[in-house]
Structure 1
């Protein structure tokens, strides 16, 4: 195991022993929790996770680019190993997680990506702006006369779920059911559930697996529009490149990416803006700054704090030798606060000139296909909220809580009020 090699590299300051991605310090301020590591021990072995942790921007970028020395095969493995009872529950549903774009390597990865990418490209997504804006304004209409709202429950939880499922091609009558299952996948992959909770989540994941298969079959018969119908058509033309198992896994993992990450990214952006009132006031005065504010929010408070790779052979990263076949945790949220790339990184600056250099959508051949859609949704939501309701502000004394999740990160509540 990696632990036998890594233990001797833990320094006296105890960076590795203190690292706990499920602890309160990390949940409240993930980049700050790794500030000491960035300065003094940017690559270290975590005995808690039995993983090597990488905290600086250029090391993370190098690993994401290097498919020769790092494999993506472990990207979707549960960070908390499943117990025997949870595995038995999944086996009962015939759950068969297979490679999708996020966890496969060359040479298979690029041909499949080229076939699947077109419906999510920016030119295909931009015509959805009017429909998404109508959806957003409709949700705002529902609470605009109330004087108070929870922006998570009343807006940013709802919009990405509806948009993501519709872009995927899921019929509207299945949206609510599919959304409920898709949320469980984030905790399944990145959470730390107890044994009993693992069994409960495994049952929900199994049900989602079953529904995903049924939805693929439905879309194959009815030939709708959207990402999954496009993938089905690509399978007809290239059956050697896209399998039934991949379609079913795409339905599952794609909807998690479309919903939870965009919800959290938007919630984080609103939290940053509303807790730093000068930024919100400036944005309301000049909505043309919204696109760069979106990028700065993604940099400052990313919704995807970390991602994974595994070394194919022994490698040296950040001056530290990592053994072969070692799991590596790439701390994207920490890399986005690397002072060598982003001066004064803790400062939230909606006019930061290089904000878009963030790593929040990945980089290289595994860069997130859904980035144009996420950016569009975030921009529209911020634009509409800068218009109304007037005087929008956080409820005084608000404290923020987060789900115990090592990667998917966003506040559970965002209570606001206005006059």
Structure 2
């Protein structure tokens, strides 16, 4: 396969194919089924230039994997750049808060990345986060207690928005007395990086980001003073041993971006899983009958409807991917949601199969040295949420005709509302019947 590359790296480019011309990650169609919008691309034009985004789009599993693993020819430096350029007003607003974004694990290159990750990863290793299972289960149970006898709920507002925020703060090492205050600031920053907001909305988002930036600095200062256990306290210890490797700016950026990632992506992952399990129903009923199937169901839900649809790289040199030459300096969009539905890797990829033997091969957490450091925590939270809901509300059902409220966002993906109902008198746990 070959394709004539655009004549320039920026600005107007030609030629633009029909596949490329139709691609728009801000449409309702993309929000509802991103993999389907790239089905034709996977079949006939797996790498193309998108004039809508000024990015080269990569849609096939093997090509996405290749780019993720190639740190020599692709840089991670643009991973957190706003995909929609910020207005002057938004930039000025951020400046008033002293917002100073710097490289963190997801957008830094080697050899710095490997050195930092080796020092910062231990608190997020599976054996460490698994020690939190009892506390996370207690937290989920407490939130379910509030609505189990009511017969209706918005699972986002009543469970999935707050629990991952609190868990993220616990893992970060934020003291218990600060959690209630800080969780209100882990706002939907996904719109800042991946959304298509109006100038007015950008100002609103910039104000929220600025406030969270200030509080992140305050929390870091408190942990420096009082000490603690968790991801940020570990980074503070590294900072004291090696202030060049982890400086003050890095600590503040860690607190801010790490908590947003731990919060919003897990909220969306759980909401996507529940939406599709309850829509298709038979997988949900199977999990209620056999909870031992939940761990593999978590992997399949992450494959089928990921909370992070795509990620980015920048070409360090002219490089051929999928038979197409991507020019030096070009931004590259890796659509993992499309790769997760690649027919060459997954049989019947558009079927939600909770027994799928290779479900864990999904690309949702990335591949290679930049793979998601928080994956063990996300898996643990999703498993516990599904275990508790299938145990206590197996007869849960979606409210018909609801609007899930997806926002125009190229990557961070999840419903804003998930309305459910059930008969409280049919609750299997006697104490839940009210």
Partner of 1:232 in structure 2? Answer: 236
2:186 aligned counterpart, secondary structure: helix
Q: What is the aligned partner in structure 1 of residue 319 from structure 2?
A: 315
Is 1:181 paired with 2:185?
A: yes
Alignment of 1:115-134 (within 5 A): 115-134=119-138
Cα separation, 2, equivalents of 1:366 and 1:6: 31
Q: Take 1:25 and 1:163, find their aligned partners in 2: how far apart are those partners?
A: 32
Alpha-carbon offset, residue 345 of structure 1: 0.4
Aligned to 2:54: 50
* 2:252 match: 248
| Residue 170 (structure 1) aligns with | 174
Matches within 5 A, 1:217-296: 217-296=221-300
* Count of residues in Structure 1 that have an aligned counterpart in Structure 2: 416
- Is the partner of 1:152 in helix, strand or coil? helix
- In structure 2, what is the Cα distance between the partners aligned to 1:149 and 1:197? 29
Provide the C-alpha distance between the structure 2 equivalents of 1:155 and 1:306, rounded to a whole number of angstroms. Answer: 26
The residue aligned with 2:114 is 110
Shift of 1:3: 4.8
> Which segment is superposed worse, 173-182 or 308-317?
173-182
1:303 paired residue number: 307
Q: 1:154 to 1:301 in 2, by over 3 A?
A: same
Cα offset for 1:173? Answer: 3.6
2:14 is the alignment partner of 1:7: yes
Aligned mate of 1:77, from 60, 81, 90 = 81
The residue aligned with 1:196 is: 200
Cα distance in 2, alignment partners of residues 171 and 290 from structure 1: 32
Q: Deviations over 1:190-241 (max 9, x none)?
A: 1111111112211221121111111111100000111101110111122221
Matched residue, 2:429: none
Gaps of 5+ in 1: none
CA contact (8 A) 1:151 1:413 kept: yes
SS of the residue corresponding to residue 7 of structure 1 reads: coil
Is the 8 Å Cα contact of residues 312 and 334 (structure 2) preserved in structure 1? yes
State the Cα deviation string for residues 234-256 of structure 1 (Å, max 9, x = none): 11122221111100100111011
Q: Give the structure 1 partner of residue 363 of structure 2.
A: 359
Contact 1:166 1:172 in 2 (8 A): yes
The alpha carbon displacement at 1:5 in A equals: 8.1
Does the aligned pair in 1 maintain the 2:288–2:394 contact within 8 Å?
no
1:145 equivalent in alignment to 2:140: no
- Give the 3-state SS of the residue equivalent to 2:333 in structure 1: strand
**What is the RMSD computed on CA atoms of the aligned residues?**
1.2
Whole-Å Cα distance in 2 between the matches of residues 412 and 92 of structure 1?
30
Q: Scaled by the length of structure 1, what TM-score is found?
A: 0.97
Distance 1:316 1:4 in 2: 21
Post-superposition offset of 1:324: 0.5
Aligned to 1:341: 345
Residue 216 of structure 1: aligned partner: 220
2:404 equivalent among 400, 407, 410: 400
Q: Tell me if 1:96 matches 2:100.
A: yes
C-alpha distance in 1 between matches for 2:62 and 2:210: 38
Q: Distance in 1 between matches of 2:213 and 2:354?
A: 40
- Classify the secondary structure of the residue corresponding to 1:309: strand
CA distance in 1, matches of 2:348, 2:239: 48
SS state at 1:76 partner = coil
Q: 1:177 and 1:37, CA in 2 relative to 1: closer, same or farther beyond 3 A?
A: farther
Is contact 2:74–2:316 with CA below 8 Å preserved after alignment? yes
